[in-house]
Amino acid sequence: MNHDISRSLFHKALALMPGGVNSPVRAFKSVGGEPFFAKRAEGAYLFDVDGNRYLDFSSQLMNVNLGHGHPTLVAAIQEAAGRLATIGPFHAN
């Protein structure tokens, strides 16, 4: 697997924040190696900026059930977003 672009991005990130990421877990220190930079996700897979494909074994709750970018879910979110003027807390006047 090629990781040249991810490696370059990680070294740039190290100059911007401690550990180069916002979580010690994502820094890979406990298992060795360096983090990859995800570019997109589809179904059970993640794709990094170097073109590598990974099976997402650590998917979050929603992705475990539906996968990344499920077309029905994406369409529902887009349709709902089109009806919303704002997203955030609502305040009574």
Strands (E), 30-76: 38-42, 45-48, 53-55
Q: Three-state DSSP class for 77?
A: helix
Per-residue pLDDT of the chain (93 residues; tens, 9 = 90+): 899 999 999 999 989 988 777 776 666 777 777 888 999 988 888 899 999 999 887 766 656 667 788 888 889 988 888 887 666 666 555
pTM above 0.75, yes or no: no
- Characterize the bridge pairing of strands 45-48 and 53-55: antiparallel
Q: CA-CA distance, 28 to 3, in Å (whole number)? A: 14
Q: What is the DSSP letter of 48?
A: E
What sign results for the dihedral spanned by CA atoms 34, 4, 21, 41?
A: negative
- Phi/psi of residue 61, nearest 5 degrees: -50, -50
